[in-house]
Amino acid sequence: MSDRAVFEQAGAVPEQRGAAAGLRAEARSLDAADELRGKRAEFVLDDTVYLDGNSLGALPAHVPGRVADVIARQWGELRIRSWDESGWWAAPERIGDRIAPLVGAAPGQIVVGDSTSVNVFKALVGAVRLARGEDGGHPGAGASGSAGHPGEGRDEIIVDATTFPTDGYIAQSAARLTGCRLTPLAPAEVPAAVSSRTAAVLLNHADYRTGRLHDLPGLTAAVRAAGALAVWDLCHTAGALPVGLDAHGVDLAVGCTYKYLNGGPGSPAYLYVREEHQARFDSPLPGWTSHVEPFGMRPEFEAAHGVTRGRVGTPDILSMLALEAALDVWDGVPVEAVRAKSLALTDFFLRCVEAYVPKGRVESITPEAHAERGSQVALRCEGAGDVMKRLIERGVVGDFRAPDVLRFGFTPLYVSFADAERAARVLAQTLDA
C-alpha cells in the first residue's frame, strides 16, 4: 500500500499527508548520512520493520555458515579433539574478552556461560560474601576511591523494585540463602537508603518497561561509598550505549547476549567480576570447570584463578560459538556511534508519532532527556495488546507489556530512520482503523 493510500484509508487530512512527505524526506536524508548504514546489509532482514531487538536481535547473515562448520567439521570430524584444536575449552573467557569493549571493561574480567538468572545468583551471593569478608578478603577501594567496611553486620540486600521479575525472584532466594533482609527500592531511592548494614545492591541499567536509563555512575558511587557492592543488570543496555564498567567502579555485572548483541535465542549470558575482587570472589555455584585443576578430579574444591572462577559446568558450545560469530558485526564499530544513532532514532520516532497520531491516543512514558533514555520507546495506550497484534499483522514488529505498554526497541546496527517513520505512520493507521 502506498504512503498516500495509508493515510487516505486512515482518514488523514491534507496537513497530515504533508507532514508525512516531509518526514519521509527527512528519513531519507538521515539514512544517507548515517555512518552505520552499511551494517544493515550484514543482517538477515525482510520488508518487516523489526523493532523488537530489545527482546531478540536479528540474525547476522554469516552466522549460519559458521555454525554449520562447528557442527559438520568441529563436532562431526574433529569430535572431542575440538576442545583443544577448535578452542572450545577457552571459549567462555575468549568470548568474554570480545564483549568487554562493548561494556567498557578491560580483558580478563568477563566470562560467558549459563543464563542471566544463574549469573545474577552467582553475582549477588558472591557480592554478599565479599561485603562480609567471608572468604577472608574485603571489597577494598575501587575506582571510586571508597574504602570497604566488611563485616557480619551487613545483612541487607537492596533490589531494584522495578526490576525484571527474574532478578527479583533470584534476589529473594539469595536473601534467604545468606540470611539477609531484602529491601525493594526505586533506583532513585538507593543513595539515601544504602547504609553500613547493606551488603549488595542489585540494579537494572535500564527499566525494561519504560526504557528509562538509570544513573550507573552516580548510583555505583553511592553504593561503594557505603562499603556495599554494586551489581548491575545490563541486559537492556549492552550493545546499545556505552556502559563504562571499569571507569565507574562497578563491582559485578551480568547481561544477556540475545538482545542488542544478536547472539541468538537463548544464547549464553555473561558475568563481569571486577579484577580487584576476583581473588576473593566466592561463587555459590562452584563447578568442575571453575576448579583450578578441572581435570584433576579432586574431591576438594579449589577455585581457579581470575574470572574463570565464575564458570560452573560444561560450556554450551553450539550457542556459544554462534554468539562468537555474531559478535563479528561489531568489528570496527564504536559504541559511541551506536549511542548517537540510538538517540537520533528514538528522537525521530517520537517526532513522527507526535505528527501522525492524534493527541490523546498514546502517551510516551520514555524519558525525553537523553541522559535518562535507553534505546527503546514505550508508549502507553488503550488496548495495547490488541494494537500490537495488529501492528505485527501490518509489518511493524514491537512487543507488548501488560497492562497497556507498546515497546519499540531500536537497534542502531540495522534499524533505519525510514523504519522509524514507517512504524509511526502504521501505528497511526492502526489506531484509526
Q: Which residues are catalytic?
A: 164, 233, 258-259, 407
Where does 146-215 have alpha helices with state H? 165-178, 190-193
> Which set of grid coordinates corresponds to residue 356?
501522525
- Let me know: does 313 contact 289? Beta carbons within 8 Å: yes
Alpha carbon distance 311, 129 (integer Å) = 17
In whole angstroms, give the CA distance from residue 269 to residue 257. Answer: 6
Strand (E) or helix (H) holding 229: strand 229-233
Dihedral pair phi/psi, residue 399, rounded to 5°: -145, 175
**Residue 107 phi, psi dihedral angles, 5° rounding:** -60, 160
* Cα-based distances in Å from 107 to 223, 239, 314: 24, 17, 22
Backbone angles phi, psi at 255, to 5 degrees: -170, 155
How many CB atoms lie under 10 A from the CB of residue 363?
A: 12
Q: Which three cell numbers mark 392?
A: 505485527
